[in-house]
Structure 1
């Protein structure tokens, strides 16, 4: 496996190195493991679609796009209220 150089702020490097060390890993090994566990935006979208299809099949609930937007707006409003934004 070839290596790559990634430029990040020094503080971020030290923080990641401390987290890696606490888990008994080198920074290189920690970042490799992290990359394996995170999903790309395409992978997240694919999983979301599968989950939505499974939920629809299980519950029969199939909101329209307008209903989804309304629900998203309501969730955003409530989160803003709780976080003070």
Structure 2
């Protein structure tokens, strides 16, 4: 595997190195493990679509785009309220 250089602020590097060391890993190993555990935007979208399809198949529930937007708006309102905004 070839290596790559990534430029980040020194403080961020030091913080990541400390986290890695606390887990018994080198910074290189920690970042490789972190990259393996995160999803790309495309992977997240694909997973969400599969979940929506499974839910629709299981429940028969298929909200329209307008209904989904209304539900998202209501969820955002409730989250803001819960966070005291």
TM-score, normalising length from structure 1?
0.94
Unmatched segments (≥5 aa) in structure 2 = none
Instruction: Show the counterpart of 1:21.
Output: 21
State the shift of 1:10 in Å: 1.2
Q: C-alpha distance in 2, partners of 1:10/1:84?
A: 35
Are residue 57 (structure 1) and residue 57 (structure 2) matched? yes
Instruction: Show the counterpart of 2:72.
Output: 72
- What RMSD over aligned residues (CA atoms) do the two structures have, in Å? 0.9
Q: C-alpha distance in 1, partners of 2:29/2:9?
A: 19
Q: C-alpha distance in 2, partners of 1:29/1:76?
A: 37
Are residue 37 (structure 1) and residue 37 (structure 2) matched? yes
Q: C-alpha distance in 1, partners of 2:14/2:58?
A: 46
Instruction: Show the counterpart of 1:5.
Output: 5
Unmatched segments (≥5 aa) in structure 1 = none
Which shows bigger deviation, 12-21 or 43-52?
A: 12-21
Aligned residues: 85
